[in-house]
Amino acid sequence: MKYHLKCCKCGYVINNLSAWFGHHQFCPECGARRVEAVYFADYSKLNELLKSHSTSFWHYFDFLPLENAENIVSFNEGAVQLEEWQFLNRFAADNYGVKCHVYAYRNDLNGGTNTLKDVAASMTASVLKENGIPQFCTSSTGNSATAYARYLSKAGIRFTNFAPATMNRDTIEEIRSYSQEVVVSTGDYAQAKKEAAGFSESAQVLMSIGNIDPMRVESKRTMAFEFIRQIGKLPDVYMQAVAGGTGPIALDKGFRELAIHLKDKSSPPMKLPRMLLVQQDLCDPMVQAWEKAKKEGFPDHFENDYPVIDNPQTSVFILSAGNPGMYPIVSQIVKKSDGDFIRIKESELLDYARIVRDEKGATIGPAATVCFAGFYEALKEKKIRDGETVVLNIGESAKRYADFAGKL
């Protein structure tokens, strides 16, 4: 046995993902949804992997929840380049007197669909293939759905995505180009989620459980490994645009593993990167909740107090989650990391995207631009400190956003 799953609420052990699917993706002891994989591999091997060349996140196969490598479905994702963006180093030094090293984690260069969702889609397609599961469904605002569509198509697995009415038409057509299905709701993302759940139950089709899905978390946590492999350490600051929050959840999980298994008595204790998570002002429920909690001194159970924005009127449709169901988990991780939430102005996104285009010759998508703009706001709010290493998660390219790219 390579791994087992452990319930994050009661500690109950589930043998593997096959058994997890058999329990309808609920803990059979307490009914909780969130589980984490515990691996029985020799972690000294991870130390060797961190020093060797990688072409995908499957470089860490012994530390991923797949038994047979023959089932891997991959387009070379998850070992994307960390580029030091010197123009941001100079901007911080010249305008704020802050000497920092800023790296862009270029998920727009992934071999699948050029998004940060590719590793999760690769993991999911591989696991479903290994377990002989013929059909899968989810609700997604865009990037996840496109990635699942391509990878599941390669695995020969039928896929149905339930999309909010605001989903980009180009994205819908791309999903259908892989001979996969899109059902467009007449409502918002929350409504699409309800429709997906209803379909899953009535048709007995396995459904993604979203940001805490162990296939998503276990694959994405390898970015912690990649940070160490490429820059020799975990960054001091990690920044990402956020709607749900798999990235922060996964990075926290990866950090905890590294801190336990790779601790060195001769070195200072490994620190969780300070997480600065960014939302645009037209859909910012997590920022609103955090600001309220901070003003009140983070009272007990602050994480359960958050607003719900019905039908958010944002053009960044992949960040249009008005009901931030992951806030209770994500906010606790941000607080533990001594991090913060940041709001940027959606009306300024094109200006920031043009900076990346002019400086790097790259066209990044709107969600990636939210993160990029967040760096400037973090400097303004004095949330980047002298001497720090900062990683910006560039979530996607502008490939599927014809309107945004055209204006750019």
User: Can you give the three-state secondary structure of the chain, one letter per residue?
Assistant: CCEEEEECCCCCEECCHHHHHHCCCCCCCCCCCCEEEEECCCCHHHHHHCCCCCCCHHHHHHHCCCCCHHHCCCCCCCCCCEEECHHHHHHHHHHHCCCCEEEEEEHHHCCCCCECCHHHHHHHHHHHHHCCCCEEEEECCCHHHHHHHHHHHHHCCEEEEEECCCCCHHHHHHHHHCCCEEEECCCCHHHHHHHHHHHHHHHCCEECCHHHCHHHHHHHCHHHHHHHHHHCCCCCEEEEECCCCHHHHHHHHHHHHHHHHCCCCCCCCCCCCEEEEEEECCCCHHHHHHHHHHHCCCCCCHHHCCCCCCCCCCCCHHHCCCCCCCHHHHHHHHHHCCCEEEEECHHHHHHHHHHHHHHHCCCECHHHHHHHHHHHHHHHCCCCCCCCEEEEEECEECCCCHHHHHHC
**pLDDT tens per residue, range 230-287:** 999 999 999 999 999 999 999 999 999 999 988 765 567 789 999 999 999 999 999 9
Global pTM reads 0.95
220 pLDDT higher than 80: yes
Same-domain status, 36 and 98: no
Residues 32 and 86 in one domain: no
Same domain, 307 and 400: yes
* Chain segment 331-381, per-residue pLDDT in tens: 999 999 999 999 999 999 999 999 999 999 999 999 999 999 999 999 999
* 308 and 372 assigned to the same domain: yes
Predicted confidence (pLDDT) at residue 5 exceeds the cutoff of 60: yes
| 144: Cβ contacts below 8 Å, ≥ 6 apart | 117, 120, 121, 138, 208
Which domain CATH number covers 306? 3.40.50.1100
Per-residue model confidence as pLDDT tens digits over 74-127: 999 999 989 999 999 999 999 999 999 999 999 999 999 999 999 999 999 999
pLDDT at 265: 55
Residue with the larger pLDDT of the pair 218 and 311:
218
* Domain contains 185: no
Per the domain annotation, does 179 fall within a domain? Answer: no
Average pLDDT over all residues of the chain? 95
Among 36-45, 124-133, 137-146, which stretch is predicted with the lowest mean pLDDT? 137-146
Does 231 share its domain with 334?
A: yes
Tell me: do 4 and 108 sit in the same domain: no
Asked whether residue 399 is assigned to any structural domain, the reply reads yes
For residues 22 and 103, membership in a common domain is answered with no
The answer to whether residue 249 is domain-embedded is yes
User: Could you tell me if residue 195 is inside a domain?
Assistant: no
In a domain, 177, yes or no: no
Contact call for residues 84 and 103 (beta carbons, < 8 A)? yes
Q: Do 2 and 109 belong to one domain? A: no
Task: Answer yes or no: is 197 within a domain.
Answer: no
Whether 247 and 325 map to the same domain: the answer is: yes
Q: Would you state the pLDDT for residue 103?
A: 98
Enclosing domain of residue 270: 82-113+216-407
Is there a contact between 236 and 390 (Cβ–Cβ < 8 Å)? yes
30 and 96 share a domain?
no
**In this structure, are 335 and 390 located in the same domain?**
yes
Domain count of the fold of the chain: 2
The terminus-to-terminus CA distance of the chain in angstroms comes to 51
- Same domain assignment for residues 228 and 299: yes
Inside any domain, residue 281: yes
